[in-house]
Structure 1
Amino acid sequence: MPKDEKATAAAAQALIDDEPDDWDKRIFSTGCAEENAKLTDCYYEKKDWRACKQEMEFFRQCWQRHGNDKRTDSQDA
Structure 2
Amino acid sequence: MSNTEKDKAAPGEVEDDDEPDEWDKRIFSTGCADENTTLNDCFRDKKDWRACKDEMEAFKQCWKRQGNDQRTDSKDV
TM-score bracket for the superposition, by shorter chain length: 0.7 to 0.9
**Equivalent-residue separation in structure 1 for 2:44 and 2:38 (angstroms):** 10
Q: TM-score, normalising length from structure 2?
A: 0.76
Higher relative helix content: 1
**Runs ≥4 residues deviating over 6 A:** none
- Unmatched segments (≥5 aa) in structure 2: 10-14
Aligned-partner residue type, residue 6 of structure 1? E
Superposed CA deviations along residues 31-61 of structure 1, whole A, max 9, x for unmatched, are: 0000000000000001110000000000000
- Unmatched segments (≥5 aa) in structure 1: none
Aligned CA-pair RMSD: 2.0
Aligned-pair identity (%): 69
Give 1:28 shift. Answer: 0.1
- How many residues align? The count is 66
Task: Give the equivalent residue in structure 2 for 1:52.
Answer: 52
Q: TM-score, normalising length from structure 1?
A: 0.76
